[in-house]
Amino acid sequence: GDSVTQMEGPVTLSEEAFLTINCTYTATGYPSLFWYVQYPGEGLQLLLKATKADDKGSNKGFEATYRKETTSFHLEKGSVQVSDSAVYFCALSDRGSNYKLTFGKGTLLTVNP
């Protein structure tokens, strides 16, 4: 079955530091890949997505590139802010699974001023 493995947290950084959260996946089909962000006490918000190999999703300074050869979708940001503190989930959606989302376990990011 499909699965997503992401870097375990928590991750603590200082403001303006570089962020990488690793995410790898296994899928039977050709999935779409997503990063979701969850702020405390809230639901999930889509941060970015990519639907085919070599696509780069980007939003709010975050980027991730769909790497089919390494089955990876690592999240990066060049300079994090305190407001980026949240839990980040990597996920995939596979047409063969009726578009169900398979989530990673989530990575808690804390950015200190």
Sheet-wide strand order for 56-59: 19-21, 75-77, 62-65, 56-59
At a CB cut-off of 8 Å and minimum separation 6, what does 68 contact? 53, 54
- Kindly tell me which of 60 and 105 has the beta carbon lying closer to other proteins: 105
Binding string, residues 89-108; x marks residues near other proteins by CB under 8 A: x---x-x--xxxx-xxxx-x
- Contact between 11 and other proteins by CB under 8 A: the answer reads no
- Kindly tell me which residue out of 27, 49, 62, 84 binds other proteins, with binding defined by CB under 8 A: 49
- Kindly tell me which of 6 and 80 has the beta carbon lying closer to other proteins: 6
- Kindly tell me which residue out of 34, 62, 66, 73 binds other proteins, with binding defined by CB under 8 A: 34
User: Residue 31 burial (CB < 10 Å; 0-12/13-18/19+)?
Assistant: buried
- Kindly tell me which of 73 and 104 has the beta carbon lying closer to other proteins: 104
Tally of CB atoms within 10 A around 52: 11
3-state secondary structure of 34: strand
Binding residues for other proteins, rule: CB under 8 A, are 32, 34, 36, 41-46, 49, 51, 89, 93, 95, 98-101, 103-106, 108
